[in-house]
Structure 1
């Protein structure tokens, strides 16, 4: 049994020739369905259809979302849900065998748990796996805004919205921020932001400028992206005001 973890960017238009060849060599792709109207699953289905591969869908297990859960109860509910999802994947793999693909949004190296899931599956069933990269969201963000993410000889820090303030307090001043679900930018009014949603897909929107000047435009663009696609994936680069805006080629 073999599993191929394949990054596919934002859809069929971003599938690299390497990933396309690998996908065509798979017996099926495996994906989870979240709800009756899962528009993200529809994108995976389009990728499979473009390369003639069957998509096997498992229903995402229900998770206890009771409002009265304390921290221990919440963590237990998440653990039970995660184990149930692993079991659902394992049942399909053991029944069908062969070569299965897991299709990963963007690239598997950034804020995605598929590698960890497959490693855990491999602890209980006999399988081997490999990973092929896809076009990542930070790559798309830089391309759409025609910028370089870092300055000459300087780093860029990749983080999440939840950790943004902590990382800035720790001294980071040039950050790519992912997993936003909306973000509180109070206190960043003089920072410069390059923001994008649904990059390369339905509902793509871009906003850039000084945070204080573009916050309302950003909120409006995010709402439009969700209305147009039914979902929104957004991220941004944010840079401290004391840093120049020029990229490593000197282009503003």
Structure 2
């Protein structure tokens, strides 16, 4: 089995011009691009990736759609289900590399945001590297957190304050004293409506950097329902949504 260079390229939260010059160079130097295909509901996101490839990839490159294995979104054992899902993804990616780069070469994943922040691609590449000769090259990307604060024109914290980055699933278990500034990702239920004080401030953004971008900010008691309604509408209209928010303590 010939060695493969597998690039994991951060492409930002969705805007076609939010990729870095390093990412542009990495795309131009890649032979095969692997896309985990989630079906029609994310076809627009696949289209954004394709725009980037049309603009920056070398002639003769290949795009391989790898069907994303199904996943239980509400399992009894969340960790076990994620491990099963990741193993199925690794199997599918390994088969795609074998089929399309039998003599070695370069392949890449284009990863939304930054590969190091709430993304599992690097876990998959670690598992792949235990199966086959593989060199992994990571290109960082603009995070959705930085896109959020830039879109709102704010600093994420007061002078000297810490920031906690967490998920909606874990928001209710934020340790005491760590809730001054919380950047919350992967929160389809908008958990802050249950955990935040009415006078906390929330800065919410969806589809950052795209033509669908929506921003809402204000006192939690004043804007929570507006955020929930706009999130539901975008999800219904597009079939997908990528959103994030910053929750700040007692500033409303």
- TM band (smaller chain): 0.7 to 0.9
Moved more, 128-137 or 214-223: 214-223
CA contact (8 A) 1:7 1:135 kept: yes
Relative to 1, partners in 2 of residues 1:166 and 1:137: Cα closer, same or farther, differing over 3 Å? same
Larger RCO: 1 or 2 (CA < 8 Å, sep 6+) = 2
Deviations along 1:118-170, one digit per CA (max 9) or x if unpaired, are 01100110010111111110101110110011211111111111111211546
CA RMSD of aligned residues (A): 2.3
1:204 shift after superposition: 1.0
Gaps of 5+ in 1: 246-252
1:240 lines up with 2:243 in the alignment: no
Q: 144-153 or 171-180, which moves further after superposition?
A: 171-180
2:51 is the alignment partner of 1:46:
yes
Q: Which runs of 5+ in 2 are unaligned?
A: none
Say which SS state the counterpart of residue 189 (structure 1) adopts.
coil
Which residue of structure 2 aligns with residue 33 of structure 1? 37
After TM superposition, give the deviation of residue 88 of structure 1 in Å: 1.1
User: Which among 63, 69, 77 is matched to residue 61 of structure 1?
Assistant: 69
C-alpha separation in 2, matches of 1:56 and 1:4: 14
> Whole-Å Cα distance in 2 between the matches of residues 92 and 21 of structure 1?
24
Residue of structure 1 equivalent to 2:230? 221
Partner of 2:132: 125
Describe the SS at the equivalent of 1:61: coil
Tell me the TM-score normalized by structure 1.
Answer: 0.86
Say whether the 8 Å CA contact 2:89–2:124 is kept in structure 1: no
Q: What corresponds to 1:250 in structure 2?
A: none
How many equivalent pairs are there?
239
Alignment of 1:8-157 (within 5 A): 8-9=11-12, 10-39=14-43, 40-52=45-57, 53-63=61-71, 65=72, 71=77, 78-95=82-99, 96=101, 97-157=104-164
What are the Cα deviations for residues 100-130 of structure 1, in whole angstroms up to 9, with x where unaligned? 0111001111100111110110011001011
CA spacing shift, 1:70–1:55, aligned 2, 3 Å: same
Q: Cα offset for 1:13?
A: 1.7
Q: Distance in 2 between matches of 1:76 and 1:167?
A: 23
Paired with 1:233 and 1:117, the residues of 2 have a C-alpha distance of: 22
